[in-house]
Structure 1
């Protein structure tokens, strides 16, 4: 049975990943800071109380997973604050960097021994991290942190290719989640379904690319 590990799995897109992969017959390890009733109701392994920005929690996550091989690792946990000129808070910027850019790299590094030839790493990023695609400005911490995540993902793809591990950077779309006040164009269920297809299509030839959930390749 193939094994998928998902961070930020208690709600939104992360929960839908857990639900849909479990339904498809995968063994799912759902990593989250706070558990939820909907996640508990799934037939998945849950590692709760994990703050992906804390070294001690990452060690506990690694110990809980042990030596189990991981076929798919999805770094989904994220943080969005509405940073605007005239109200720039350094703590807000740093928090978004910690969660959105640094944590996915540290999670992947912590679980590197569980990945092997044929494994895949999905980084849930955003087209707001695209410099070429920025036509509206603002949201400084989120844009900057997602651009940093894209840079990390490209380097991961290069560093892991010789081990047969493929990496993909994925923009879900404008999704109806708590993060955006449930505004959005598509549901979390639809977004997760699209992203699962993109991950299924991922090969070493496509490693390090940046895709919209609809399959469109996005500019850096």
Structure 2
């Protein structure tokens, strides 16, 4: 049975990734910060014996080390770095920036994904599929910035892209691929009610890219529909 480890799986895209992989017969290691409050995820686990729910705050090195030890004997086919925050969505522009929010955005969106990738690279290397996926955003594409604002979110995703591009080179000798994906504008708590895609539609499209991953896709930054995003 192939295995996927998903961060930020309590709701939204992460929960949908867990649902679709569980229904496809995968072993799902679903992580979130507060499992006791993740009712939808626990309901999914109750329906599928292959779903395990684990506590993980991607900014907490001790929790990450504990999870790494708990799962040390497993091979992880796909490591899915989905956990993320958009804390400055409604913040002001220059003159009203909150630098603590900016630091928190980097801690989760950038460093969190790198920490998890570093911790589980060994388990990914032991698997058959050997793939690391990072859920990024087109807002991290510097070439596509056409308006002010959203500095913390944009820069944290741009930094994630840069880090993962380098990590793709570092992991390639171990046979591990890295893929960066923009899920589109999705109707989650982050995306809002006016979004164009449902979580099911977005994840279904991204899963198709993951399923067809090949060496030529390593380190690339793609939209959910497969089109390339400029850096």
The TM-score by the shorter chain falls in which range? over 0.9
What is the CA distance between 1:136 and its match in structure 2? 2.3
Structure 2 gaps of 5+ residues are none
Matched residue, 2:39: 37
Matched residue, 2:203: 192
What is the CA distance between 1:85 and its match in structure 2? 2.1
Matched residue, 2:104: 95
What is the CA distance between 1:202 and its match in structure 2? 1.3
Bigger shift: residues 193-202 or 34-43: 34-43
Structure 1 gaps of 5+ residues are none
Matched residue, 1:122: 133
- TM value normalised by structure 1: 0.96
Aligned partner of residue 136 in structure 1, secondary structure: coil
What is the CA distance between 1:180 and its match in structure 2? 3.1
Aligned partner of residue 77 in structure 1, secondary structure: coil
What is the CA distance between 1:191 and its match in structure 2? 0.9
In 2, Cα distance between the equivalents of 1:118 and 1:37? 30
In 2, Cα distance between the equivalents of 1:157 and 1:210? 12
- Which of 65, 69, 79 is the equivalent residue of 1:63? 69
Bigger shift: residues 190-199 or 165-174: 190-199
8 A Cα contact 1:164 1:204, kept in partner: no
C-alpha RMSD of the superposition? 1.1
Matched residue, 2:122: 113
Q: Deviations over 1:155-187 (max 9, x none)?
A: 111111111111000000011111133331101
Matched residue, 1:218: 229
Matched residue, 2:145: 134
Bigger shift: residues 117-126 or 208-217: 117-126
8 A Cα contact 1:177 1:183, kept in partner: no
In 2, Cα distance between the equivalents of 1:24 and 1:95? 35
Aligned partner of residue 132 in structure 2, secondary structure: strand
Bigger shift: residues 31-40 or 106-115: 31-40
Matched residue, 1:18: 18
In 2, Cα distance between the equivalents of 1:183 and 1:93? 26
What is the CA distance between 1:195 and its match in structure 2? 1.1
8 A Cα contact 2:168 2:218, kept in partner: yes
